[in-house]
Amino acid sequence: MEEAKPQRVVVMTGATAGIGAHALQHFAAQPNMRVIVGARGSGRTVPHGVEIVPLDLASLASVREFAGAVTRQLDDARIDILVLNAGMQTSNIERRSAEGYELIFAVNHLAHYLLARLLLPRLASQGRLVITTSDTHDPAITPIAPRTLDPQALAHPSKSGSGAGIRAYAASKLCNLLTAQSFAAMDEVKARHITVIAFNPGLTGGTSLGRDSSRASRVFVTLLMRTVFRLVGLFRPEYVMGTSERAGEALAEVALGTATPPHGRIYISLVKGKLTFPDPSELARSRDVQDRLWRESAIMAGIE
């Protein structure tokens, strides 16, 4: 008699809308796969069999409760695939997380940093950690990308004003990429053959990212996409808008291991529907910057 294959476990954030909701369909369709989703609010609809555990990334206390609940629910089982995909973008950087950090930095970076640190011991050997980043981290692609990184200034910005929200978003996505590289460089991760990937879905339509931005800002971005981005897209493929269906499918491919970057690379970027493996920005590759973000994030998250 053929031996039954052990069940694989996926734990995921950002599965309730946009790119993540499409990726979730692919995970849920896999045979013998247990899928646990962290989600805020109530009345969520997810595919049959998917488990929902409450998680609000705007609160580090909620992140700790989520990690504890997942660990209890899994009992002895390990997480094969951890997908940290949730994200937000808003024009207003005055908003603060439960612990008093600027909300975009707190949700996109700090909460995921803490979650990955808390769940790393539960990750299976040869498992996968996928963190969704963005090519907005890269000054070679967009002028809004950061050229320096000061985690304290991101957590406690002193001035707001026009463009501050999108710059905070780009910086938070740089933090995702720096964090992925720090995890990939850990002895424990290497020894347990855990694959770490930073995934950029690229400019993607049909998602609700930016829904918290002001109406004026949303109108401005829509106009920009329909005019300037279309023109720039004629010679810069990164500016060609993809669909959330394809981005979700690509995220699932990357997480399930049907797509893997060449040896030694961890950054995967979806460009015109195809997976590419470019270099991250120079700042993102800096070991010093990675270490500084890691140290300061640990202090902010209270884990030193």
Q: Between 124 and 242, whose beta carbon lies closer to ligand NAP?
A: 242
Q: Which of 113, 169, 239, 267 is catalytic?
A: 169
Structure tokens at 123: 């990750």
Annotation says 267 is catalytic: no
Structure tokens at 169: 């978003």
Structure tokens at 204: 């993607």
3-state secondary structure of 34: strand
Q: Between 193 and 272, whose beta carbon lies closer to ligand NAP?
A: 272
Closest distance of CB 289 from ligand NAP, Å = 20
| Single-letter amino acid, residue 75 | D
Interacting residue with ligand NAP among 8, 18, 110, 196 (CB under 6 A): 18
Closest distance of CB 148 from ligand NAP, Å = 21
| Residue of 223, 102, 235, 218 whose CA lies nearest to 171 | 102
Per CB under 6 A, contacts with ligand NAP among 198-217 are 200-204, 207-209
Structure tokens at 297: 């994030």
Helices and strands counted in the chain (H then E): 12, 10
Instruction: Work out the angle at residue 241's Cα, subtended by the Cα atoms of residues 38 and 230, and round it to the nearest 5 degrees.
Output: 150
Closest distance of CB 39 from ligand NAP, Å = 6
* Per CB under 6 A, 195 contacts ligand NAP: no
Catalytic residue ranges: 169
Where do contacts with ligand NAP occur on this chain (CB under 6 A)?
Answer: 13-20, 40-41, 55-58, 85-88, 107, 132, 134, 173, 200-204, 207-209
